[in-house]
Amino acid sequence: MTPETTPLIRFALPKGRMQDSVTQLMADAGVRLRASSRGYRPLINLPGVETKVLKPQNIVEMLHHGSRDLGFAGGDWVREKGFESSLVCVLDTGLDPVRIVAAAPRELLVDGALPKQPLRVASEYERLTRAWIAAGGLDATFVRSYGATEVFPPEDADCIVDNTATGATLEANGLKIVDELMRSSTRLYANPRALEVTEKRTLVEDLVLLLESVLQARKRVMIEVNVTRDRLDAVVAALPCMREPTIAALHGDAGYAVKAAVPRDELPRLIPALKAHGGTDVVVSKLDQIVP
């Protein structure tokens, strides 16, 4: 796209924790990003789309103000900024799942709960934290952090509100989770005014279709199994397929080949069941995309 070309969609890509998973998702969907001479503006193989790499917090702001039409961000930052009603979530990828939690040093807790005393609560999430303090009726002072919030206790804060994927970092810093404020993941948001333009809406819907096809394929595998005529119905009944399985006759009237896309996490139960119902020559293969 030349500098003089007006983009149809101004697309924001996340910098930091989400970047790798989003880039891989798009690549798996055939959407390629290529570095340009302007480091934060990669080129994309989607006509009419201009990309820019920003921190998720900034993406949320830019989407809200309309300088970006589409962008990836965490649901936590959309709620923190108070933009849940002004942005449209067009796709929840489920990637990079985190919990927003309150945590405190174990030695501070009384029977596993925060003590009834004045507290200092540190967080990057001011809106979420103040709402949590008010809802719990806590006597607490908010302390803003700018990263590495887990190191604030015990000297600089009594309690923190932070995001965690596994809780390992909190545990390593001697902190115990005392409450969960919300759950978040990487989501694709649009400015609602962009969706009012037919050409933009079509482009967004097409991109969502591509990304969803990859996310669906990651949850499923293709399973193929051979079966004799007399055991066919039993094998078909055991398959948790999307609609109906594909069935083809084997050479020499030797039975049938049955093929279906099944949930990946069903395999430990499904493969023994297929064998028990008379299935043979079971083959499992990876799927790249599924478009219903």
Tell me the C-alpha to C-alpha distance, in Å, between residue 286 and each of 170, 213, 218, 220, 223. 36, 13, 8, 8, 9
| Chain-centre distance for alpha carbon 238 | 31
Going by pLDDT thresholds of 50, 70 and 90, the confidence category of residue 3 is very low
Q: Would you state the pLDDT for residue 23? A: 95
pLDDT of 8 over the 50 cut: yes
> CATH 3.40.190.10 spans which residues of the chain?
9-94+186-217, 98-184
User: CATH number of 98-184: 3.30.70.100, 3.40.190.10, 3.40.50.2000, 3.40.1000.10?
Assistant: 3.40.190.10
User: In terms of Cα–Cα distance, which of 279, 212, 215, 214 is closest to 245?
Assistant: 279
- pLDDT above 90 coverage of the chain, percent: 91
Q: Would you state the pLDDT for residue 70? A: 98
pLDDT of 2 over the 80 cut: no
pLDDT of 187 over the 70 cut: yes
220-286 folds as Alpha-Beta Plaits (3.30.70)
Q: Would you state the pLDDT for residue 1? A: 46
DSSP states along 8-50: SEEEEEE-STTHHHHHHHHHHTT--EE--SSTTS-EESSTTEE
For the segment 268-274, the average pLDDT, to the nearest whole number, is 96
Q: Would you state the pLDDT for residue 5? A: 63
pLDDT digits (tens, 9 = 90+) for 213-253: 999 999 999 999 999 999 999 999 999 988 899 999 999 98
pLDDT of 147 over the 90 cut: no
Yes or no: domain 9-94+186-217 corresponds to CATH 3.40.190.10: yes
150 in Cβ contact with 188 (< 8 Å): no
